[in-house]
Amino acid sequence: MATRTKDVQTDTEDLVTARESRAPAKQPLTLPADEPVVYPLQLPQSKARLQTPAVGQRATRPDGRLHGLGQTQYIDDLTFPHMIHAKVLRSEHAHARIISVDTSAAAAMPGVLATLIGKEIPRNSFGPTLQDQPVLADDVVRHRGDGVAAVAAVTEQLAADALEKIKVVYEPLQPVFDPLEALEDDAPRIHGGDTNIYASKVIKKGDVEKAFAEADHIFERRFQTQMVEHVPLEPHASIASWDGNGRVSIWSSLGRITLGREDLARTLELPQSKIRLIGTIVGGNFGGKNEITTEPILAMLSRKTGRPVKSVYTRGDEFISSTIRHPFTMDYKTGVMNDGTIVARKIRIILDGGAYCSWTGTTIGKGSILSPGPYNIDNIHVEAYAVYTNKTTTGAMRGFGAPQVCFAYESQMDDIAHKLGMDPLEIRLKNAFSEGSSSPTSQTLQAVAIKESLSQAAQLFGWKEWQA
């Protein structure tokens, strides 16, 4: 294996000076001058610190000590007097109509204190954008992670055992798993209506067709990304306690407290003044804990039993019932001149929205705006559509659509560079935004450092050497 070494230059004169300055003094020892010492001491500060206090400085993390000592308390570490445990029965079908739910056998088990079905939820729907997701499905299940009933018991294991006693009669319906198939006229309508499209975004700038006609080269390719689970070290967890005054306190790993409180007030039909939502230390969010999950279920079970009720997702629960990153299908068409200048880009994005909307409205907006990439392109046409499928609900995840489109446009930049025989770095520098560039939505950009960042990064990791 070939290795590359870098010569390290040492300033010999400075080194010698430093060593000499540390040499023992030959003069006889004397007492220091009797000069007053003023506190606090005024220590010299670097120019960098004066300009940007955080740069180059150690940052203190208030909760770091507890984390390091293993003393941080997460939901699963919390216990309350007379606390019981809840489990949720989830659908065995991706798409089916619920004919009946019988919880009587589970309710009769010793140690089971309460059961809950969707029809008992005061307002059985929630969502940060569209309220299209049931707390517990009471009519139709739309993916394998849909909850259909819940149980509260004195132990977690007993609650899990009780789920096996619940009898649900389903009428299976035709599922659709491919977002492109969901667009077809004869595709099953997952939420009824005339189409499975529930969100869209269009961006137009310039005249793409005219620019394509004038371009020297046309590049077309389809790119696809997969669903991604957050896999937080701490799964979704919460505890609810309903008191005798009609107020409920909820301890939750929820990341967005204000929005969660609004959803809870709506689903429980309570004024927000009667909901106390305590955000605990979150053991990993990444967007996956931006909305409520079992919180209203636990609140209802607590009201039924008069006890605090805890629920902690298993890893299996996380994979089938928590939100995931949106899979994207992206069709890119780009017009380029012989010198590598991009003159037009047309993009069609299909978001696999899964069973419910969640944060798709934000994702489709950000993904569309960012889809042309950080490049000066005068002619742009973007169309994006979010489509229901009978798959795990998609939602917030770091980037909100940015990683998916970045994969597409940067892959195509490599394709273009290879076809034109250009350095992949040079074609990016040629087209990259600079100060005063116009964004896809015609905003004038300020404080742009893309070219500088690319150049410095290339220099630091030896781009030219790697290309040799």
Give the pLDDT confidence of 136-182 residue by residue, as tens digits.
999 999 999 999 999 999 999 999 999 999 999 999 999 999 999 99
Residue ranges of alpha helices (H) inside 254-386 are 257-268, 295-305, 315-321, 360-370
Task: Render pLDDT for 344-403 as a digit per residue (tens, 0 to 9).
Answer: 999 999 999 999 999 999 999 999 999 999 999 999 999 999 999 999 999 999 999 999
Cβ–Cβ < 8 Å for 145, 354: no
Q: In what order do the strands lie in the sheet with 380-387?
A: 197-205, 380-387, 342-352, 328-336, 217-224
pLDDT at position 56 is 74
Rounded to a whole number of angstroms, the distance between the first and last alpha carbons of the chain is: 16
Burial of 341 by CB count in 10 Å (0-12 exposed, 13-18 middle, 19+ buried)?
middle
Cβ–Cβ < 8 Å for 291, 128: yes
Task: Render pLDDT for 227-258 as a digit per residue (tens, 0 to 9).
Answer: 999 999 999 999 999 998 899 999 999 988 89
Percent of the chain with pLDDT over 90: 80
280 pLDDT exceeds 80? Answer: yes
Task: Render pLDDT for 437-446 as a digit per residue (tens, 0 to 9).
Answer: 999 999 999 9
Question: Which band of pLDDT confidence, cut at 50, 70 and 90, is reported for residue 343?
Answer: very high
Query: Where in the sequence of the chain do the CATH 3.30.365.10 domains occur?
Result: 192-228+324-467, 237-319
CATH architecture of 192-228+324-467: 2-Layer Sandwich (3.30)
Cβ–Cβ < 8 Å for 247, 264: no
DSSP class of 272: G
pLDDT at position 53 is 64
20 pLDDT exceeds 70? Answer: no
Compute CA 318 distance to the chain's CA centroid, rounded to the nearest angstrom. 14
Query: Picking from 52-56, 254-258, 327-331, which range would have the lowest pLDDT averaged per residue?
Result: 52-56
Backbone region of residue 332 per phi and psi (left: phi > 0; alpha: psi in -120 to 50; beta: other values): beta
CATH architecture of 83-172: Alpha-Beta Complex (3.90)
34 pLDDT exceeds 80? Answer: no
What span, in angstroms and rounded, lies between the C-alpha atoms of 205 and 437? 14
Name the residue among 294, 243, 353 with its Cα closest to residue 126: 294
26 pLDDT exceeds 80? Answer: no
pLDDT at position 229 is 94
CA dist list (Å): 213 to 207, 408, 460:
10, 23, 40
Name the residue among 419, 425, 450, 418 with its Cα closest to residue 436: 450
Query: Where in the sequence of the chain do the CATH 3.90.1170.50 domains occur?
Result: 83-172
Cβ–Cβ < 8 Å for 334, 218: yes
What span, in angstroms and rounded, lies between the C-alpha atoms of 177 and 326? 13
30 pLDDT exceeds 80? Answer: no
What span, in angstroms and rounded, lies between the C-alpha atoms of 52 and 37? 29
User: Strand 342-352 and strand 380-387: pairing?
Assistant: parallel
Q: Is 313 helix (H, G, I), strand (E, B) or coil?
A: coil
Residue of 12 and 297 predicted with greater confidence: 297
pLDDT at position 50 is 55
122 pLDDT exceeds 60? Answer: yes
Q: In what order do the strands lie in the sheet with 96-102?
A: 140-141, 96-102, 167-172
pLDDT at position 16 is 33
CATH for the stretch 237-319: 3.30.365.10
CA dist list (Å): 233 to 228, 260, 270, 282, 313:
15, 21, 32, 10, 11
40 pLDDT exceeds 90? Answer: no
3 pLDDT exceeds 50? Answer: no
Token duo for residue 450: 């893309």
What span, in angstroms and rounded, lies between the C-alpha atoms of 380 and 346? 6
* Backbone phi and psi for residue 377, each to the nearest 5 degrees, phi listed first: -130, 120
What span, in angstroms and rounded, lies between the C-alpha atoms of 440 and 437? 10
Strands (E), 376-425: 380-387
